[in-house]
Amino acid sequence: MGTLTQERAPIYEALERFRRMRIVPFDVPGHKHGRGNPELVKLLGSQCVSIDVNSMKPLDNLCHPISVIKEAEELAAEAFGASHAFLMVGGTTSSVQSMILSCCKQGDKIILPRNVHRSVINALVLCGAKPVYVNPDVDVPLGISLGMKVSQIREAIKNNPDAVAVFVNNPTYYGICSDLRAIVSMAHEYGMKVLVDEAHGTHFYFGDDMPVTAMAAGADMASVSMHKSGGSLTQSSFLLIGPGVNAGYVRQIINLTQTTSGSYLLLSSLDISRRNLALRGREAFGRVVDLAEYAREEINQIGGYYAFSKEKINHDSIYDFDTTKLSVHTLEIGLAGIEVYDILRDEYDIQIEFGDLGNILAYLSIGDRRQEVERLVSALSEVKRRYQKDKTGMLSQEYISPIVAATPQESFYAKKESLPIKETRGRICSEFVMCYPPGIPILAPGERITDKIIDYIVYAKEKGCSMTGPEDEHIERLNVMKEA
């Protein structure tokens, strides 16, 4: 076996040993190394289906790791500088929910920015905690929500000394970082835990000159989307904890909702990707940064577009900027980000991560090459040449401060009625409405519906944003709490 170093990948190695043993499977999964489902083998390849196996002694068990999964967790913890790392197979959604369920109980207060991922408020629906929202700062010309101001968090903590945790998005989808160290020291002074949604910051742990990581800043828990910038398979993720958190209790919380049939494809992809980043992450992310810098220079040379970067740093709500993120402001050429997003896909066969009302985000990662970046830049120059129009009448993304009238749990489970969206003004919403991606709710359960919100939803739908959340799939009706 040898000593446990970052060169090792215990789960991957166990799967290799398992393959050589040619074990006869009289257990699940029923496709039996693919033999029972030749079409699946044709799609995925026999290599892939042959390691789609069940938990067993030589491969350990995700619900209660004692051997190879435990070793993989230890290596991950070391690589990320955490006290403990959990391998997660329910997406970063499940990591985020486990953070909240580990810290909050019914009636507890949690301080958080409103521009969180839906998974955060979902967890509040489940556990019954009360959100105390800190309005994020907003960059008005760009129309994006920024990080949290230290002064606002201090105020929220002072006004709610009984809160149990502070939740931070770091970085945001657009690459904006908050002052994590300051937030941690304030929160810890009041005995509050700090939970960080680090879904878009995996590379901070491996690259040079990156913004500070949650673990290095002393945060208590962090959710890391290994499958985003880290290169593992979709749906795989890490949950990291610091020294002040009880690993055994967190494991119990995870097991409340996580599958007992954790996929070995996902687990081994986490294991291998962790090894890759630990050994080669620095060079790989160095190349990503160079590529993103190059793309920004070229895009800004086209004119009209604004690919922003570190010049936006203001030492507070933009404490730092993740330069691997390629966010481009498009409103000046008279096109909404979502329109550019659609044109790029429909006309130029280029799929980017998302477009909102004023910006697009192209996700660059360890798999990108210069030649594809050239295509993106050239396509953007063509989009400008062919589609540029007057920008009057274009709505910029706006942060709408929520009016919280009930907790997410109360309103979600309350008696409700379905109304056409335009007739919901003044009512309390009992479901989510969001654009996807980025999956940040426009309305969350328990929030009062205003004209501004209705206008926003109608405009976003009109511009072609993909809306999700409500029971009504066409988003023409909303569920609201029944009035007494």
Partner 1 sequence: MDMWFNDEHTDDVKLSIRIDSQLFSASSEVQRIDVLDSKEFGKVLVVDGDITLTEKDEFIYHEMITHVPMAVHPDVKQVLVIGGGDGGVVRELIKYDEIEQIDVVEIDPLLVEVCRKYIPEIACSRNDSRVTIYHEDGLRFIRSKSDAYDLIIIDSPNPFGAGEGLFTKEFYGNCYNALHEDGIMINQNESPFYAEEAFQCQRMHRRILETFPICRVYQAHIPSYPSGHWLFGFASKKYHPLNDLDSVAWKLKGIRTRYYAPKLHVGVFALPIYVEELLKDVEE
Binding status of residue 42 toward partner 1 by CB under 8 A: no
Query: Which of 220, 254, 213, 253 has the alpha carbon at shortest distance from 237?
Result: 254
| Token pair for 330 | 């498009």
Q: Does residue 377 interact with partner 1 by CB under 8 A? A: yes
Among 32, 54, 216, 348, binds partner 1 (CB under 8 A): 348
Is residue 387 involved in binding partner 1 (CB under 8 A)?
A: no
User: How, if at all, do strands 84-88 and 144-145 pair?
Assistant: unpaired
Whether the CB-CB separation of 378 and 369 falls below 8 Å is answered with no
Binding flag, residue 160, partner 1 (CB under 8 A): no
Rule CB under 8 A: is residue 386 a binding residue for partner 1?
yes
Unique residue bearing structure tokens 């396509």: 379
Is the Cβ–Cβ distance between 147 and 178 less than 8 Å?
Answer: yes
Contact residues for 61 (Cβ-Cβ < 8 A; gap 6+) = 55, 69
CB of 388 to partner 1, least distance (A): 13
Question: Using CA atoms, how far apart are residues 447 and 55, in angstroms rounded to an integer?
Answer: 43
216: Cβ–Cβ under 8 A, 6 or more apart, which residues? 81
| Cα gap 274→268, rounded to integer Å | 10
Least distance in Å: CB of 343 to partner 1? 11
Note whether 9 binds partner 1 by CB under 8 A.
no
Q: Which amino acid makes up residue 293? A: E
Give the shortest CB-295-to-partner 1 separation in angstroms: 11
Does residue 473 interact with partner 1 by CB under 8 A? no
Contacts of 378 (CB under 8 A, 6+ apart): none
**Contact between 346 and partner 1 (CB under 8 A)?**
no
Q: How far is the CB of 64 from partner 1 (least distance, A)?
A: 48
DSSP string, 164-207: -EEEEESS-TT-EE--HHHHHHHHHHTT-EEEEE-TT-GGGGTS
CA dihedral 252, 253, 254, 260 (to 10 degrees): 50
Is there a contact between 168 and 156 (Cβ–Cβ < 8 Å)? no
Q: Does 326 bind partner 1 (CB under 8 A)?
A: no
Among 22, 209, 311, 371, binds partner 1 (CB under 8 A): 371
Q: How far apart are CB 372 and partner 1 at their closest, in Å?
A: 8
Instruction: Select from 57-65, 141-149, 375-383, 430-438 the region that touches partner 1 (CB under 8 A).
Output: 375-383
Under the criterion CB under 8 A, does residue 64 sit at the interface with partner 1?
A: no
* Number of residues counted as binding partner 1 (CB under 8 A): 18
Among 61, 381, 418, 450, binds partner 1 (CB under 8 A): 381
Judged by beta carbon, residue 152 or residue 381, the one nearer partner 1 is 381
**What is the full DSSP assignment across 448-477?**
BP-HHHHHHHHHHHHTT--EE-SSSTTSSE
Q: Which is nearer to partner 1, 376 or 453 (CB)?
A: 376
Please tell me whether residue 385 binds partner 1 under the rule CB under 8 A.
yes
Query: Residue 267 has which token pair?
Result: 């687990």
Choose between 57 and 386: whose C-beta lies nearer to partner 1: 386
Footprint (CB under 8 A) of partner 1, residues 232-261: none
Residue 322 binds to partner 1 (criterion: CB under 8 A): no
- Closer CB to partner 1, residue 105 or residue 385? 385
Which 295-314 positions form the footprint of partner 1 (CB under 8 A)?
298, 301-302
Q: Per CB under 8 A, does 290 bind partner 1?
A: no
Which one of 7-15, 62-70, 194-202, 382-390 is the stretch in contact with partner 1 (CB under 8 A)? 382-390
φ/ψ (deg, to 5) at 449: -90, 130
Is residue 339 involved in binding partner 1 (CB under 8 A)?
no
In the complex, which residues of this chain contact partner 1 (CB under 8 A)?
Answer: 298, 301-302, 347-349, 370-372, 374-375, 377-379, 381-382, 385-386
